[in-house]
Structure 1
Amino acid sequence: MKNPLKANMVTKPAPTAKSAAKAKHQSTDSGVFLLSPESKRSSVRNSANTLNLDLEKNTIVEDEQLPPKRKIRVLRHARHTFLNVYRRLFSLVFVFNIAGLGGLLARNHRWTTDPPLSAFATAAAANILVALLIRQDYIVNLCYKATWIVPLWAPLRVRRMLAKVYEYGGVHSGAAVSSVLWFILLTSFLTNEFAAGHVAPDPAAIGAFSYALLLLLLALCITAYPKFRFGSHNTFEQVHRWAGWFSLALFWVEIVLFARTQVTNESGNLGMVCIQMPAFWFLLVASLHTINPWIRLHKMPVEAEKLSDHAVRLHFKEPVPLFVGLRISEAPLGEWHSFACIPARDGGKSGGSVIISDAGDWTKETIRNPQPYYYVKGIPVTGVLCVAQIFKRVVIVTTGSGIGPCLGVMQDIPQTSCRVIWSTPSPEKTYRKGICDAVKAVDPDALVWDTRQKGRPDLVQLAYQMYKESNAEAVFVISNPKLTKKVVYGMESRGIPGFGPIWDS
């Protein structure tokens, strides 16, 4: 079928034999398409930084302008930024809790004088459980696998909505914030009861533990705020770990102390009172799930392949599933880092590898001095890009070492046609010929943009042009947070399904 876009494209004069030879010499040995110096001069970018390139035939054509963004600016930002899927899920959980509070107070007309303290504790514990469960590795993997069931012939609108499964973190944050608000209610009413002399026994202990727990929960929420989390991620990680553990421990103490206030002469068994409280069982399940990933903690031997001063590839022999990433650390209680796996070509049975590029102090030191082993915990977790397999044709836009997670998926979804745009400095010098060959195997006409020679391209323009040329159904972006958000928004604001990681943890 003839591409209607090409009807309006005016092809530039064909290059001379000399320039053609130069272009051939400029192509990489791996066969991955690179823009030649001649093409560079012929593809002068306009004020919009667009590229004169036919992405199917690798010929120079007139600029194809981006279509205007849909709707007015306020509505666009409301839908794709302020009310994105993550925040909609957050709001849904929050509204559900507000409705629960309304129903609870409606059934108890004496809540100011006889507050339902047990119900407040139950609601707080239930939200803590939900916040923990939605972050569990096996729950995340189940969510993704449920999405994969959707057939390729399903309506694109349905597949587009389900592909947003990776924004499940909205449930986590919504439940976490709700648990804090429930606990504020509980602590406030406990304080009133304490002042009125209605709390016995151990009123001082209940008050002290309640306020200590509330401070820990507030610390968890404050450090998880995006600006703080991005600016001080190591602090966020340590606070989340230690404050989370101590919060659970204090909540257990709180439950036991609260149960003691329920004990009467007729039912004097503290254990029986505890097991009759829903909060007890919620906390038990939450505690077991907190411990679970650490049960699988072990050392994983690796063999480091230094690709360049900018990147290293760590090979390991542990079997690994398809479409997953690993969390690794040099010390169990230190900082943990997630990297997407490139499974071995036998489906990961003989192991796989991860690519680490220079993106901070830890990665810089790892490239300079890789360890013989790293700690891993939990089970490998499925990543964003795996949902590409519910589309027939996709465009994958990536920069730098983002090609690692892309290869980890593209090579194993034969039912999906993948086109690739890879922007990186000195691709073969930085990542070696093997990586470039793997890109070629997936997309023989992949567009590899050498930023060392040509500067940074307009990836929104390139993604749109390749999307139209290949008649794709979606665009996936794997890059740094700023660029990922820019390209995904650039697609979605024009009605094109766009997906990329959201860095919510």
Structure 2
Amino acid sequence: MALCLLWAFIMLTISYDPKSRSYSKELGSRVVKSQEFWVTVGITVLIIMPWLTVRRVGVKVSSASGHASMIRFEGGIKAGILGRISPSPLSEWHAFGIISDGKKEHMMLAGAVGDFTKSLVSNPPTHLWVRQVHFAGLPYLVNMYGKVLLVATGSGICVFLSFLLQPCKADVYLLWVAKGIEQNFGKEIKEMVSGYPKEKVILHDTAVLGRPNVSHLSVSAAKNWGVEVVIVTSNPEGSRDVVNACKHVGIAAFGPIWDS
């Protein structure tokens, strides 16, 4: 409807002659020469294109606990990319970070925090709708730097795991704060992180070590490793605190605009 209203507005604007204060029925060359027309064509193509790639695909959903589910798809995806999935394409779409080694398959880790994500645990589907046009998420910034600290809390780890599983231009370090890592996120996720060089990883299990000050941990780790930038995925308050703490000491930091 928004596109239809935009096209109606553009065509009325182009056809209106301010001198005669009337609308012309002969548009022809005026439309082709109009900048507004071509901008609207571009907008329309960009909006429609992702919908042309919507497909229903088979998935394998498993859950190590009631707190999160792992969704598996065929095909490798490069690091830093996010994807959208839906139980019904005309009702709702959900974006998740993609975990992949870049080879045969990719996965999404979905924390059970809403109706849809809880249903993945209680009633795992065999098929989901996807958009085959993926998009770059905040973690894609890793490719712009030489030395990066990734800070994740809880299921925010999923958007970073691809950088641990496949070659990356940057020298990547990781700080992950979560509760009951193996119990809540599964042995597979823990092994993905454990397989990365131990000197580049800090795992803080709050079930064992208690709840830390993530901002202080992030600043300390960034200084110890001498990174260029900190990229964090957490809840809105957590992301804001880490970004502000890092910037306060002169370390560049980025977090999501909304919650991760």
Distance 1:455 1:361, change over 3 A: farther
User: Corresponding residue for 1:107?
Assistant: none
Q: Report matched runs for 1:91-240 at 5 Å.
A: none
Aligned-CA RMSD value:
2.5
User: Corresponding residue for 1:305?
Assistant: 62
Give yes or no for contact 1:389–1:415 (8 Å, CA) kept in 2: yes
1:365 partnered with 2:119: yes
Give yes or no for contact 1:388–1:394 (8 Å, CA) kept in 2: yes
1:384 partnered with 2:141: no
TM-score by length of 1: 0.47
Q: Distance in 2 between matches of 1:363 and 1:301?
A: 17
Give yes or no for contact 2:62–2:121 (8 Å, CA) kept in 1: no
User: Corresponding residue for 1:223?
Assistant: none
In the TM superposition, residue 378 of structure 1 has moved relative to its aligned partner by 4.8
User: What do the CA deviations read for 1:54-113 (whole angstroms, capped 9, x no partner)?
Assistant: xxxxxxxxxxxxxxxxxxxxxxxxxxxxxxxxxxxxxxxxxxxxxxxxxxxxxxxxxxxx
User: What do the CA deviations read for 1:10-35 (whole angstroms, capped 9, x no partner)?
Assistant: xxxxxxxxxxxxxxxxxxxxxxxxxx
User: Corresponding residue for 2:197?
Assistant: 443
In the TM superposition, residue 258 of structure 1 has moved relative to its aligned partner by 4.2
Amino acid at match of 1:295: L
User: Corresponding residue for 1:256?
Assistant: 11
Distance 1:383 1:268, change over 3 A: closer
In the TM superposition, residue 500 of structure 1 has moved relative to its aligned partner by 2.0
Q: Give structure 2 stretches of 5+ with no counterpart.
A: none
Amino acid at match of 1:500: G
Number of residues of Structure 1 aligned to a counterpart in Structure 2: 256
Distance 1:391 1:331, change over 3 A: same
Distance 1:437 1:284, change over 3 A: same
SS in 2 for 1:376: strand
1:408 partnered with 2:162: yes
User: Corresponding residue for 1:500?
Assistant: 255
Distance 1:469 1:269, change over 3 A: closer
Amino acid at match of 2:213: D
When structure 1 is superposed on structure 2, of 462-471 and 294-303 the one drifting more is: 462-471
Amino acid at match of 1:462: L
Q: Distance in 1 between matches of 2:8 and 2:62?
A: 50
TM-score by length of 2: 0.87
SS in 2 for 1:270: coil
Q: Distance in 2 between matches of 1:405 and 1:383?
A: 8
Distance 1:476 1:485, change over 3 A: same
Amino acid at match of 1:439: V
Give yes or no for contact 1:299–1:375 (8 Å, CA) kept in 2: yes
In the TM superposition, residue 260 of structure 1 has moved relative to its aligned partner by 4.6
Which of these residues, 93, 98, 115, is aligned with residue 341 of structure 1?
98
Q: Give structure 1 stretches of 5+ with no counterpart.
A: 1-245
SS in 1 for 2:110: strand
Identity %: 29
Which of these residues, 182, 189, 195, is aligned with residue 428 of structure 1?
182
Give yes or no for contact 1:419–1:443 (8 Å, CA) kept in 2: no
User: What do the CA deviations read for 1:116-175 (whole angstroms, capped 9, x no partner)?
Assistant: xxxxxxxxxxxxxxxxxxxxxxxxxxxxxxxxxxxxxxxxxxxxxxxxxxxxxxxxxxxx
Give yes or no for contact 1:420–1:443 (8 Å, CA) kept in 2: no
In the TM superposition, residue 450 of structure 1 has moved relative to its aligned partner by 1.8
Give yes or no for contact 1:389–1:413 (8 Å, CA) kept in 2: no
